[in-house]
Amino acid sequence: MASERLSSILSHLSPAKSGVAAITTKNPDDVVITLAIRTPLAKSGKGGFKDTPLDYLVYSLLKRVLEKSRIDPQLIEDICMGNVSNAKAAYIVRAASLGAGFPVTTGGSSVNRFCSSGLKAVQDIANQISMGSIDVGLAIGAESMTEGGDRLEKPFHDEIIQNSEANDCMQPMGQTSENVGRDFNISREAQDKYAAESYQRAERAQKAGWFDEEIVPISTILKDPKTGEENRVSITRDEGPRYGTTFESLNKIRPAFPQFGDKSTGGNSSQVTDGAAAILLMKRSKAIELNQPILAKFVGATVAGLAPRIMGIGPTIAIPKLLSKFNLNLETDIDIIEINEAFASMAVYCLNTLQIDHAKMNVRGGAIALGHPLGATGARQIVTGLSECRRQKKKILLTSMCIGTGQGMAGLFVNEQL
């Protein structure tokens, strides 16, 4: 602890660092991640969590957090859950935490910024720690898409939709994908080729066991759809990867949104999925005091807005904004990149526009192959990205996602398990 404090004092006396040197400096007040785990991702409506309500999924993950971290739950002061589709999310996280063994003194809240909700929860907890509001906090992202989606039940007020961009906020996500494909000339061929690569990467990663360290098995009840018989099962692996997927097989699939265009399909769009992820955060000094393993440093996150009708390209707005804040270069400074694959249209656009080395991006596949549980993805990307950083012994992780209604968000992390 004394050496950490001395390092902090010396850093203030020495010339200011910038870029990678600045973000990799270790100080006692750094916000760090000491645990990053997730559930398997299961097919919505027919997979391993089809009979698992959101409250039980969250409860089960919270129990695994306490088991894996071995931290005294009395020390965790707040839990923030990213969730999109469930209006009762704040009730759920509070009740599930109490049931899982957290004390009444541990707070609970929910946040919803659509597909970035998991990252938003991490940002919320990190900011509280940084400001001294709490010492230890837990961020989770969780979604049961089996239980329902996030579609608008009725149009906005007439006066609101007189503004064309406000009106565009009502466009279905499939329509925005077709807008991106059409506006930026991203062909069906390019989208299917990208999707095939995502499936092949996920298959390779799953067969090699790369996901094993990031996934915690979940015990739950599964009903036989024919007999109604209930059986307790343990869900241990992602259900999304389709082994043997090729460009040729994807190219045969019919368009999913023919009323809007002919490029996005069920094969090159993200899967509808149930799942959850958890990130435990605290200051570096607290982690050392508690003898908690320091997996990574949270550097920062930001959000940016853009036209709702092309919401998919959000990462191309958010990523440069975030990197500029830390004087970082995407090509030379970033080692591993996780960008959500809401649709291949947006993934291809981001890859090309930002001139990303594809070898760095979604190394284990993305949401097209693994699934996209809306509120969980922002946290899931951190879990997967840090695991990949450890595997490759790389340092700098960047995560980003597009956000419905026209936004993008990005997060930056330093892996410390080299």
Confirm whether 350 is a catalytic residue.
Answer: no
Q: Any bridge partners for residue 139, and if so which?
A: 80, 279
Six-digit token pair at 184? 């930026």
Q: Is 372 a catalytic residue?
A: yes
Q: Which of 80, 350, 389, 402 is catalytic?
A: 402
| Burial of 355: CB neighbours in 10 Å, binned 0-12, 13-18, 19+ | exposed
Query: For residues 372 and 343, is the Cβ–Cβ distance under 8 A?
Result: no
Of these residues, 80, 350, 372, 389, which one is catalytic? 372
Rg (CA), the chain: 21
CA distance 349 to 343: 10
The catalytic position among 80, 115, 350, 389 is 115
Q: What is the C-alpha separation between 92 and 259, in angstroms, rounded? A: 37
The span from the CA of 267 to the CA of 88, in Å, is 32
Sequence-ordered alpha helix ranges (H) in 82-211? 89-100, 117-130, 164-168, 173-183, 188-208
Separation CA 274–CA 43 (nearest Å)? 6
- How far is C-alpha 387 from the geometric centre of its chain's CA atoms? 13
Strands (E), 335-395: 336-339
Q: At how many degrees (to 10) do helices 173-183 and 344-353 cross?
A: 40
Q: Of 94, 81, 60, which is closest to residue 125 (Cα–Cα)? A: 81
Whether residue 402 lies in the annotated active site: yes
CA-to-CA dists, residue 390 to 81, 107, 383, angstroms: 26, 32, 11
What is the secondary structure of 212-239 as a DSSP string?
A: TTTB--EEEEEE-TTT--EEEEEE-S-S
Cβ-Cβ contacts under 8 Å for 42 (sequence gap 6 or more):
48, 49, 50, 235, 238, 239, 273, 274, 275, 371
C-alpha distances in angstroms, 394 versus 378, 382, 386?
A: 20, 14, 9
**Residue numbers annotated as active site:** 115, 372, 402
